[in-house]
Structure 1
Amino acid sequence: MHKALKKKYPHSIGKRLITGVVAAIVVIAVMIDMFGVFSTFSINIAYDKKSIEGIIDLAMRNIDSDDLLECIETKQLSEKFRRSRGILDEIIETHDIHYIYLIRPVENGGNGDMMEIMNGVTQERLRKDPNARATIGKLNGDDFSPYIIKTVLNFIGKGDDILYFLNKSSYGVDYTGLKTIYASDGTPVCVIGVDISIESMLSKIFEFQIGMLLSAVILVIMVQFIISRWLRRSVVIPMENIESSAVDIAEKFQVSTDPNDIVFRNPNINTGDELESLSRSIMMMSDEMKTYMAKLLYETAERERISYELSVAATIQSDLLTKVFPNLKECEEVEIYASMNPAREVGGDFYDYFMIDENHMGLVIADVSGKGISAALFMVIAKTLLKNEAQSGKSAAEILESVNNRLCENSTSEMFVTVWIGILDVRTGELKASNAGHEYPIICKSGEKFEYYKDKHYFVLGGIKNMEYKEYTLKLREGCCLFLYTDGLTEANDVNEQMFGMDRVLEILNKVEDTAPENIVKSMEKQVFDFIGKAEQFDDITMLCIRLNKLKK
């Protein structure tokens, strides 16, 4: 048995399911606990807000703000001041609040201070501490945190809204509400504050949390016991049977190569749920794998046949392109060499050269869109048409127009071909050429450097019917060299996705000392494939080079 099939895993599916359920219960309990805490806190805070709002409203109705301002400025207590203070005493006696007070923030060297004005005091507190009442005008910043002083300084006189916040101090944790009291002329007089202790509420929330946690622990223990027994019977045992059946399938596939000899053990799961469905799926999968094995055996043989046929096709295509140079014995004035390196088994690039008559030579280089068999078939058609039209005596432009229309007839493949074609008069060196979307030719006049001849590009062949093409004339002298190529050369990429490029092609050509066509083509081939290195060749690379050694007499 394979080692991976023998391996025992410490974390069984049953343990993981139980752990998952327990974790889910714990998470749910924590979420319920948090929700309960949040809800309780929110409800109590909302209630405290309403209480604070009512108490502040009651107190402010019994305070004469103008009289209060005068008392603050004179530090003298008026009758109205005493009556208002009595109202605050009644409020703190009759309402469940911690403090009610009037304070005024004071700027003091940038830190700020707090002035006492008035507070409400219960009789019981007065008996215990006769000095519990606030002294009007007294600075008592020590009883307030810097944060509270800064908050009141920033708040006073900024509107009629009540400012609510949690206030934790040495006196306990309070929920505080502050509101500005204004004089009749709109001058901020002071701030009235009401503190409601929330320590009892926090204590109740803590007790609620403890109760929830204890309940969750008990629930987890009970659920774990019940689910572990249920999982063992309903999940773990059926899964073990399915695992055993799967191991049996794997072992038989390892030892047998004939699908007809394989018989699998059925796990026979009848749980009426997804496990039964999984069991049936495994058996269906095993049957499908047997079918796939048989199909794979057939397809492997078929691929070997196709590979052989592709090899034959590549040989045939290679035979269509001349590999032995020179072979035009009737035109010894011209030296020719070419090469074609397909990106796949068969390609879409091609070159051709042939005698039209005893004084005129046809030169062709072309690049079919796409790659593979379809491009190779299109290449054969285009190559045949171009040669047939050229040997009928037509000009370069007429050849392209005729072949373009022939390729467009009943064409549904959406393929096209770029073509450069030239007709060389070997008596005069006059080359009449036309370019259907192909790369620029490169020419080297005798004794000079190679240069791109940037001819006009007309539309590709096989794209649009009835296109017009024009030709141009080059004058080749004895010793002139012409280099033609496809875009697979200039657009070749290295492992860093850098292109070979037009400049590099020109640089290499001008460094070649021996301008014999064979030497030029082979030097360029070596350079480009050294440049590509381990990168994938993504396009066919084709080159054709001719040199006019002498004019025909």
Structure 2
Amino acid sequence: MKRALVYKKIRKPIKKIQRNPLTRAMIMVCVLFSILSAIIMGAIGFFVYEHDMLHRYHAYTADVLNYVARSIDGDDLQQCMQTGVKSEKYNALQTLTNDLKETHKLEFLYIIQPISENPPDNMMDVLAAYTQAGKEAGTDGLTDLGNYTADFYPPEVARQYMARMDYDPTVTFFQNDTEFGNIYTAIRPIFNSSGEPIAVLCADVLIDEIDAGRIRFIALSSIMAMLTGIILSIGMSYWLIKRVAEPIQRISSSASAFAKKSHGRRDLEVMSFNDPNIHTHDEIEDLAKALASMCDDMKAYAKELITADRRVGTLEAKVIRMDYLAYTDALTGAGNKAAYEKYTASLNGDIQAGKAKFAMIMVDLNYLKRINDTYGHDQGNQYIKNLYTLLWHYFNADMIFRIGGDEFVVLVQGNRTDRVFELVKSVKRDMALTMSNPDTGSAYRISAAIGIAVYSPVRHANVNDVFKEADRNMYMDKNAMHALRD
């Protein structure tokens, strides 16, 4: 149970980080920065330590050699080297070097006389410090005054010893690979009372010990750098999350909520910006305030747009209404003379383009003046509307215009042009039926002359030519109707 609770506590922030790419990116940057910082700190620390370690080694080995050199009677030591007999001063020097080897943890502290570069017998042992533990282990006390080294020193090593048989008392250093291991050697010459070099004084330290110190330092510094990096990474991540990532996430959530509530809405009440409540006293807080102000401005602008849109809608409705009234006959609802002229202008364009196919029907109502004079204008108006109703019954898919008090024009286009004579025949049949019914009122007994003209590019240059032909045919029909009545 406890394990499940711990898992839930750990899982919750992990899921939160996974959902927030900015937080995840910041943590990654902090981790990488901390790792890089740890590596750089470790490298700098290592180089500083190595330089300091070598400097300290140089210092204390130089101090040892210079101290021993000041304790040496060069003439006495030269006498011992020549006779092979150890003097009291030699024995005192042996004791001194033994103590120094013990206290300064030197691998070897010795005096040697270079004779030549090439073995065998190119070196002569003069003195070698030893400790009791080293003597018992067999690593010390292997050399003695007057012993020759046979082929122990190869030419390249002997050459470095020979080079220090000079008149410079300075301590120098070189690396020496021997059967005892890789050795770092400090060396300086020993002089007699005449100032001539008689031998060299040396102190050796195993490089393995130096390397062991390096490794210990690297391990320790790496651990410290890693701990520092982890602490730094956690601290930076926490600071960035609290000061940057979380405030930006709250700003993003507020902006997304505002966009979602506002999209496609005309209700200004829902267009509200949720304050992310950020008090970081920095640019992020300024950003939140600027975003809130921008959302308020957008709300005000949207209000102006909605108001303007409503005004435009009202104006559009008025324009549409005015356009309808301007091109519509108020009595019948058919197109008026202005609509006819506008439409025929378009037809003239089709004629010029060579794609016109239409027929024109001229309809002139008979007896309108008689009905107006006899029954009044209301009956006359009804008479006109009844004719329009009859025309609309057959030509509702076409354009019907009232171009005069008792004149209508019907424009039939496209494939319906082929049926125009059939449709007009049906209209005349229905008008004849109304005229033959004695019970029908005068306003419902419809009589009209009709003329038809089908557009032909051979005969007609424009719509007006078609109109004239239809008008002539209409008058021919009217004359025929008069002749029939007479």
How does the TM-score come out when normalised to structure 1?
Answer: 0.38
Whichever of the two has the greater Rg, that structure is: 2
Q: Which has the higher helix share?
A: 2
State the TM-score, normalized to the length of structure 2: 0.42
Greater strand share, 1 or 2?
Answer: 1
